[in-house]
Amino acid sequence: MSHKDQSISIAAAHSGVLDGQQRLALALTAFGVLGLFVTIPMESIPGRIPWLLACLLLMSVGAAIYMRRSYLSRPAGIRNDGVWHSRLSARGAAAWVLAIVLTGFYVLLYFFPAQLGLGMDGEANRGIVALFDPLSRVLSGNAASQWFVYGALYTFAILAMGLKFILKHRHSRYQIIRTCSVMFFQLGFAFLIPELLQRLNYPYHNFANMWPLNYYFFDEWSVRGLLNSGGFGLFILFSGVAMIFLVSPLLTYFFGKRWFCSWVCGCGGLAETAGDPFRQLSDKSLRAWKVERWLIHSVLVFAIVMTAAVVWSYIGDGSGFFVTRGMLTGLLALVLGGLAVVALVRPGMLKELQPAVRWGLVGVLGTLVLVAVTAWIGGRSQLFFMEAYPLREWYGFLIGATFSGVIGVGFYPLMGSRVWCRFGCPMAAILGLQQRFFSRFRITTNGGQCISCGNCSTYCEMGIDVRSYAQRGENIVRASCVGCGLCASVCPRGVLKLENGKPSARLNNAPLSIGPTGVKLEL
Amino acid sequence: MKHVVIIGNGISGITAAREIRKRSDARITVISGESAHFFSRTALMYVYMGHMRYQDIKPYADDFWAKNRIELKRAWVKSVDTAAKRVAFEDGGTMAYDALLIATGSRTNKFGWPGQDLPGVQGLYSLQDLESMERDTKGIGRAVIVGGGLIGVEMAEMLLSRRIGVTFLVREDLFWGGVLPQQEAKLIGRHIAEHGVDLRFNTELDSILPGADGRVRSVVTKSGEEIVCQFVGITTGVSPNIAFLKDSGIACDRGVLVSEYLETSVPVVYAAGDCAQFRKHPDPERRSVEQVWYTGRMMGATVARTITDERTAYAPGPWFNSAKFFDIEYQTYGWVRNRLMPGQAEYYWEHPDGRLALHLVWNEEDRRFIGVNAFGMRLRHEVFDRWLREDVSVDHLVEHLREANFDPEFFAQHVKAIAISFKRNSAMHA
């Protein structure tokens, strides 16, 4: 027996129930997506330009109607109603279907691009790649590749879902500005500028990206390509190196790693927009945190070793490069020496590490030093006694494609939107180490106002148990925090604030005392 | 080994258990009939709304208790025998204690309305309340909420999240008028109405009528109006949950009577949190029964010291509290009463959009700052705590308000506007 009362319904419910308007909107979007994907097996597509435009228009209109109905029909505020009641956002059947479809798409994209219609050996494109040919010609002057198709869809997803995120969080200027920033960097720096560079016969380059996320930057073909592109190529090379050693440490010191991870980065951009409905799925357990730390730092070591080995293999006597093996060894020594100096200057930093981590660090550094020294003295052609190219291939296959692409996005609906950023990204690992020890960024806890409700932990996409700090009145300084600010947004009591301040006062392990007796709330 | 038994696994009992464990090796048992593990009571609404699952509102992992050697006993306590130092359970069996902490929280007030025990009529306090609300609101069209306070507005938000129409009956002419000054009460009232709640002031419940199916069919107000509904939320306050102590010999009034050390009339028996009532509150500004999450936590931390042989008086420091009414956050530090007290002066600032407000109260004579209410603005607890302890002047506070701002980055700053209009206001009254 149902009692329907029509006098009230001012808004769509979100409790896993969609009203007619929302259903219609989703149907339009689905038709748009379907329109794109039915072209995959096609040899030739009738009227490519209107077809593509119709698909994009359907997806845009559908998304717009859905957002308007879902968010603008109610006052501005946190709207997570029904997140755990919906099969899509609560790891139900719809989530599994989506995960399989996404993963399948990524497998085709990375390993079987011909199946998507990429023309091999000079043949014309077919299928969905051909569908994007006209757009690619407008931008770069070339026919589309599978990467162009991917980049265009990726950008569309960030723009459309970014707008959705802005409407959902329109009461928070931090969220609006941050989302505009990721949309801007994706559209300009990651999509349009690299394409236009190619039109001008320069190497494809995303200025907002850097090594080690951009792991092929120091490959021989990449470096030679830049060196052969005159002054502008040199500019890209130097700006790329400056990003790594100067710009990124400075920005991270002042603002934390968020300047990159949730304001600039493309992976982060997708996670924060298209991945937002899945942020609550990140594992908050202690076990996950342990896995995260070993995994992400292993990938970082892998990336450093691989790059050093690759560079070592192509520079040397008579290779025509300005940098010699001696210089590279010197640079390695400088970096390691710098770390040693830091450890001497700030011994407190080492004390903050667990013994196991400390010894792991010492082991890794010792091995690196030993190997570098033996290679330098022995003059071997291989650094680390390894062939550089197989190493590079394995990295590209395991980390570059499988981890960051297939798992990183394919598993959104199952493990949350930041699987790659949290467990794999070597860039995030470097910035995280810096954020943990040398940064002004922290999340401040507001005295004793926490009610331990759990919204902050639930909506942390990085799986940080924010509540465990907040209920003790402790500030949060964690390597993995990307500073998206959602914990502070969803907090119903105004307990959390992202701040940049004096590094000395970051860790306030002196929670608010209650009353003159000094009973501390150290929960 | 000393055995500390704690009845109730809410914030007071659990805080006490954790503090006792930190300070001693005593055996600790926490008894609860309500739930297997501690959960955040204030977060129950989010489970209904689908923001979180039940496991997400548990602040500690389930293996935490065993790790910290805190034993958990799932049972309802029937009675306490203080002579034999034993508690008896509803399902039979007893447990001996060397020290007993009563931390049983509250129960919903009902005022003898006809039909108040019908299926579909309930308050919202316990996990069982949440379960019955989940069951009894499936697919219904309209609910009536009785009583204008915090739990009422939370219930309204819960029901609206499932597109259930809400009629909200408030006995007074303002929302939460017993606590909020009228400016703030009006602001919140507007916001509740903005969300589509049918908010009715000066309206009292008379009776609740059953339908043919034996469930609630409608409510009748004192003016004789009948409102058809399938669910009734009773949110007219809570009172200490101490019926089981009737024959225990422990002195009770509304709550378990305690000294400032949270000791009851019986040696080695203590009480803390919602269910405790101070014979004489150490802070005369406060009520003898404090039904707030934060005070429950502080009492738990305090009584843990007393139980572990460091007799400590409850000294909660400057009052603070917070809440959220739909989308508007509320924080308060110090005392802002619903009416200005003799010898006090006030300043109220409201943003033109009617969703942000700041209310300052100070002592007229020496301009000593007394309290603040903030709506839609976050304030730094630490700073206000310090200002209240140091008796700063309201002028100093307005001058340094920026220091106390806790809003997220890039949020519009209203400090300047507040300071300018505060000074203009002061000049007018000078």
Spatial separation of the C-alpha atoms in residues B79 and B25, rounded to whole Å: 27
Helices (H), B88-181: 127-136, 150-161
What residues of A are in contact with residue B161 (Cβ under 8 Å)? 13-15, 81-82
Give the pLDDT confidence of A94-147 residue by residue, as tens digits: 999 999 999 999 999 999 999 988 988 888 899 999 999 999 999 998 999 999
For residue B325, what are the β-bridge partners? B328
pLDDT tier for residue A8 given thresholds of 50, 70 and 90: very low
pLDDT tier for residue B346 given thresholds of 50, 70 and 90: very high
What residues of A are in contact with residue B323 (Cβ under 8 Å)? 493
What residues of A are in contact with residue B198 (Cβ under 8 Å)? 8
pLDDT at res. A121: 83
DSSP H/E element including B65? helix B64-67
Percent of chain A with pLDDT over 70: 88
Spatial separation of the C-alpha atoms in residues A385 and A344, rounded to whole Å: 31
Q: Is A247 helix (H, G, I), strand (E, B) or coil?
A: helix
What residues of A are in contact with residue B196 (Cβ under 8 Å)? 8, 10-11
Percent of chain B with pLDDT over 70: 100
Beta carbons within 8 Å of A101's beta carbon, 6+ residues apart: none
Would you list the DSSP string of B165-203? EEEEE-SSSSTTTTTS-HHHHHHHHHHHHHTT-EEESS-
What number is the average pLDDT over the span B246-260? 97
- A263's tokens: 């304001």
Spatial separation of the C-alpha atoms in residues B394 and B400, rounded to whole Å: 10
Give the pLDDT confidence of B148-164 residue by residue, as tens digits: 889 999 999 999 999 99
What residues of B are in contact with residue A519 (Cβ under 8 Å)? 298, 301-302, 305, 312, 315
Q: How many CB pairs under 8 A join A and B?
A: 197
CB–CB contact A3 B380 (8 Å):
no
What residues of A are in contact with residue B326 (Cβ under 8 Å)? 75, 77
Residue A336 has pLDDT above 90, yes or no: no
What residues of A are in contact with residue B217 (Cβ under 8 Å)? none
State chain A's maximal CA–CA distance in angstroms. 86
What residues of A are in contact with residue B409 (Cβ under 8 Å)? 174, 485, 498-499
B407 → chain A, closest CA residue: A497
Residue from the list B166, B324, B385 with its beta carbon closest to the beta carbon of A447: B385
Interface of A with B in 374-413 (CB under 8 A): none
Q: Is B53 helix (H, G, I), strand (E, B) or coil?
A: coil
What residues of B are in contact with residue A447 (Cβ under 8 Å)? 320, 380-382, 385
Please tell me the distance in Å from A296's CA to the nearest CA on chain B: 25
CB–CB contact B320 A448 (8 Å):
yes
CB–CB contact B194 A5 (8 Å):
no
CB–CB contact A14 B410 (8 Å):
no
pLDDT tier for residue A304 given thresholds of 50, 70 and 90: confident
Phi, psi of B68 (to 5 degrees): -95, 10
**C-alpha distances in Å from residue A331, one per residue of A246, A255, A370, A429, A476:** 15, 27, 15, 20, 34
Q: Which span out of A198-202, B230-234, B412-416 was modeled with the highest average pLDDT?
A: B230-234
Please tell me the distance in Å from A4's CA to the nearest CA on chain B: 5
What residues of B are in contact with residue A3 (Cβ under 8 Å)? 139-142, 230
A26 shares contact with chain B (CB less than 8 Å): no
pLDDT tier for residue A317 given thresholds of 50, 70 and 90: low
CB–CB contact B301 A514 (8 Å):
yes
pLDDT at res. A517: 45
Residue A366 has pLDDT above 90, yes or no: no
Residue A362 has pLDDT above 80, yes or no: no
CB–CB contact B316 A10 (8 Å):
no
Q: Is A331 helix (H, G, I), strand (E, B) or coil?
A: helix
- A42's tokens: 């096609």
pLDDT at res. A6: 36
pLDDT at res. A9: 38
CB–CB contact B49 A512 (8 Å):
no
What number is the average pLDDT over the span B368-392? 96
Residue B429 has pLDDT above 90, yes or no: no
CB–CB contact B230 A3 (8 Å):
yes
CB-count exposure of residue B416 (10 Å: 0-12, 13-18, 19+): exposed
Phi, psi of B144 (to 5 degrees): -115, 135
pLDDT tier for residue A431 given thresholds of 50, 70 and 90: very high
- Average pLDDT for chain B: 96
CB–CB contact B301 A16 (8 Å):
no
What residues of A are in contact with residue B49 (Cβ under 8 Å)? 15, 80-82
Spatial separation of the C-alpha atoms in residues A491 and A476, rounded to whole Å: 15
Please tell me the distance in Å from A84's CA to the nearest CA on chain B: 5
B326 → chain A, closest CA residue: A77
**C-alpha distances in Å from residue B193, one per residue of B21, B157, B198:** 47, 11, 7
Most B CBs within 10 Å, among A6, A8, A444, to test the B interface = A8
User: Which of A501, A458, A506 shows the shortest CA–CA distance to A478?
Assistant: A506
Return the higher-pLDDT residue of A230 and B251. Answer: B251
Percent of chain A with pLDDT over 90: 54
Return the higher-pLDDT residue of B227 and B430. Answer: B227
CB A206 within 8 A of CB A214: yes
Spatial separation of the C-alpha atoms in residues A397 and A486, rounded to whole Å: 33
CB–CB contact A3 B406 (8 Å):
no
pLDDT tier for residue A321 given thresholds of 50, 70 and 90: confident
Spatial separation of the C-alpha atoms in residues B45 and A76, rounded to whole Å: 19
What number is the average pLDDT over the span B8-18? 97
What number is the average pLDDT over the span B106-128? 97
Spatial separation of the C-alpha atoms in residues B117 and B316, rounded to whole Å: 38
Spatial separation of the C-alpha atoms in residues B228 and B193, rounded to whole Å: 20
Omega prior to A212 cis, within 30 of 0: yes
A489 shares contact with chain B (CB less than 8 Å): yes
CB–CB contact A468 B230 (8 Å):
no
What residues of B are in contact with residue A254 (Cβ under 8 Å)? none
CB–CB contact A84 B412 (8 Å):
no
pLDDT at res. A319: 65
CB–CB contact A516 B305 (8 Å):
no
Please tell me the distance in Å from A339's CA to the nearest CA on chain B: 33
**CB burial readout A14-33, b (16+ within 10 A) else e:** bbbebeeebeebeebbeebb
Please tell me the distance in Å from B219's CA to the nearest CA on chain A: 16
For residue B346, what are the β-bridge partners? B361
Residue from the list A5, A467, A498 with its beta carbon closest to the beta carbon of B142: A5
Return the higher-pLDDT residue of A235 and A321. Answer: A235
Please tell me the distance in Å from A456's CA to the nearest CA on chain B: 10
What residues of A are in contact with residue B411 (Cβ under 8 Å)? 172-174
Residue from the list A4, A493, A498 with its beta carbon closest to the beta carbon of B141: A4
pLDDT tier for residue A14 given thresholds of 50, 70 and 90: very low
A518 → chain B, closest CA residue: B315
What number is the average pLDDT over the span B121-144? 96
A10 shares contact with chain B (CB less than 8 Å): yes
Say what the alpha-carbon torsion angle B301, B108, B149, A84 is, to the nearest 10 degrees: 80
Spatial separation of the C-alpha atoms in residues A469 and A478, rounded to whole Å: 11
- Average pLDDT for chain A: 86
pLDDT tier for residue A413 given thresholds of 50, 70 and 90: very high
What number is the average pLDDT over the span A31-43? 91
pLDDT tier for residue A224 given thresholds of 50, 70 and 90: confident
Please tell me the distance in Å from B16's CA to the nearest CA on chain A: 10
Amino acid sitting at position B385: D
pLDDT at res. A450: 94
CB–CB contact A514 B293 (8 Å):
no
CB–CB contact B409 A499 (8 Å):
yes
Beta carbons within 8 Å of A98's beta carbon, 6+ residues apart: A88, A412, A413
Residue from the list A5, A7, A15 with its beta carbon closest to the beta carbon of B50: A15
DSSP H/E element including A299? helix A286-314
3-state per-residue secondary structure call for A445-495: ECCCCCCCCCHHHHCCCCCCCHHHHHCCCCCECCCCCCCCCHHHHHCCCCC
CB–CB contact B408 A78 (8 Å):
no
Phi, psi of A247 (to 5 degrees): -65, -50
Q: Which of A162-166, A318-322, B289-293 shows the lowest per-residue confidence on average (mean pLDDT)?
A: A318-322
pLDDT at res. A438: 87
pLDDT at res. A384: 65
Residue A406 has pLDDT above 70, yes or no: yes
| H helices, E strands: number in chain B | 10, 25
- A467's tokens: 């509540």
Spatial separation of the C-alpha atoms in residues A180 and A171, rounded to whole Å: 14
pLDDT tier for residue B430 given thresholds of 50, 70 and 90: low
pLDDT at res. A387: 72
Please tell me the distance in Å from B331's CA to the nearest CA on chain A: 8
For residue A476, what are the β-bridge partners? A443
Would you list the DSSP string of A166-231? HHHTTT-HHHHHHHHHHHHIIIIIIIIHHHHHHHTTPPP--TT--TTTSTTTTSHHHHHHHHTTHH
What number is the average pLDDT over the span A460-472? 95
